[in-house]
Amino acid sequence: MKIACFVEAYNFEIKSEEKALLKFKSTAETMGHSFEFIYKDDISRISDYDTLFIRATTDPSSCAYIISRLAEQYGLKVIDDPHSIRTCSNKVILHDIFQKNNIPSPGSVLFYGDYSHEIIGGIFKSLGCPVIIKTPYTRFSSHVEKASNIAEFIEISRHLLRKAKVLVVQEYVRSDFDWRVGILRNEVIYLCKYYIPKGGWKVKSKINGKNVWGETIAVSRDTISPELKDLSINLSKHIGTGLYGLDVKETNDGFKVIEINDNPSIYDGFEDVIDNDIYEKIISELVS
């Protein structure tokens, strides 16, 4: 089969990401398929391929969404499909999905910019202090801020509301790491711990003015706790059958999902260290 892999130039800037992309290519070729990197200038010829794998950053506003939807309409198998992109890219929609389906997650509310005493007081009363404020389009820990008091909340939210109509305000759950559960077709295909860097409070933290990423430690998927596995698979089923990465906090009160991402990072030497068959599994899914 002819596999198209939609990428942008930045996907080749980090060595470990480039190596992972080349592993996808060599795995596909070993399995008897062609695998071609395509770019935004190639969007119009997507119907020349049998299947599409997107590795460029996805968002409904991006070129990745356009190629995903065109490919779907031409009948190609697509990872990431347009529905998954629309759902996972938007934290407001995820908030709705978590609430409707009783997904265990930190307490959260939507904030539209009503600064009345009743609303602001209610937020801190129900979520505690500090709170996390996110824009709908946050990714890689960007546009996620922590407010430790009402004054900070007002300042941060006013700033973020300049570009967003609504914000997600979430209970802060302290942890040393987030579980990252990699899911494909509603099965766990890899498991990692994404550590919070020392002195920070999220996986990519600003420390002394510099962006610092925490360590990634791969863990065998066979060791996943049944509770975490059930929770992850249950949530992924509410989105679709694609490739997802869930971020989950482990607390004294059980596991709590922070978010589910389409287009999860897969870097050589990170997510693939223990369960290194993830390349084969993804290619097999693309050509199934």
Partner 1 sequence: MIIVSEEEDDSDSNPLFFLRQPVYDSVLNINHDYRYLRMGYYVSAHAETFGVEVTPNCTEIMDAYRNPLLMEKAKRNGIRTNEYRLITSVKSEFNAPVLLFAVNPFTNNSMKVVDSDSKLPEMIKRMSMGARFPVSLHPLTGEVHEIVQMFGESTNEETLAFTKRFYEVFNIPICKLVVQIDDGGVVLNHCEPAIKKEVKWDIVHDKMHEIKQGH
User: Beta strand 131-134 with 144-147: parallel, antiparallel or unpaired?
Assistant: antiparallel
Least gap, CB of 123 to partner 1 (angstroms): 14
Please tell me whether residue 92 binds partner 1 under the rule CB under 8 A.
yes
Please tell me whether residue 65 binds partner 1 under the rule CB under 8 A.
yes
Distance (Å, rounded) from C-alpha 235 to C-alpha 179? 15
Q: How far lies 109's CA from each of 92, 131, 132, in Å?
A: 9, 11, 11
Distance (Å, rounded) from C-alpha 15 to C-alpha 147? 35
DSSP 196: P
Collapsed DSSP state (helix, strand, coil) of residue 236: helix
Q: Which residues make Cβ contacts (< 8 Å) with residue 209, sequence separation at least 6?
A: none
Please tell me whether residue 44 binds partner 1 under the rule CB under 8 A.
yes
Q: If we measure between CA atoms, which residue out of 90, 61, 54 comes closest to residue 261?
A: 90
DSSP string, 116-158: -HHHHHHHHHHH-SSEEEE-TT--TTTTEEEESSHHHHHHHHH
| Sole residue written with tokens 């119907």 | 47
What residues from 149 to 188 belong to the interface with partner 1 (CB under 8 A)? 164-166
State the binding string over 14-43 for partner 1 (x if CB under 8 A, else -): --------------------------xx-x
Cis bond before residue 104 (omega within 30° of 0): no
* Total interface residues for partner 1 by CB under 8 A: 30
Nearer to partner 1 (CB atom), residue 98 or residue 190: 98
State the binding string over 122-151 for partner 1 (x if CB under 8 A, else -): --------------xx--------------
The window from 50-58, 80-88, 204-212, 246-254 that contacts partner 1 (CB under 8 A) reads 80-88
Please tell me whether residue 59 binds partner 1 under the rule CB under 8 A.
yes
Nearer to partner 1 (CB atom), residue 59 or residue 271: 59
The window from 20-28, 49-57, 62-70, 196-204 that contacts partner 1 (CB under 8 A) reads 62-70
The window from 79-87, 220-228, 267-275, 277-285 that contacts partner 1 (CB under 8 A) reads 79-87
Type of residue found at 87: T
Among 30, 36, 48, 112, binds partner 1 (CB under 8 A): 112
Least gap, CB of 159 to partner 1 (angstroms): 16
Q: Quick one: angle between helices 117-127 and 150-160, nearest 10?
A: 110
- Residues in the site for partner 1, rule: CB under 8 A? 40-41, 43-44, 59-63, 65-66, 69-70, 73, 82-83, 86, 90, 92-93, 96-97, 100, 110, 112, 136-137, 164-166
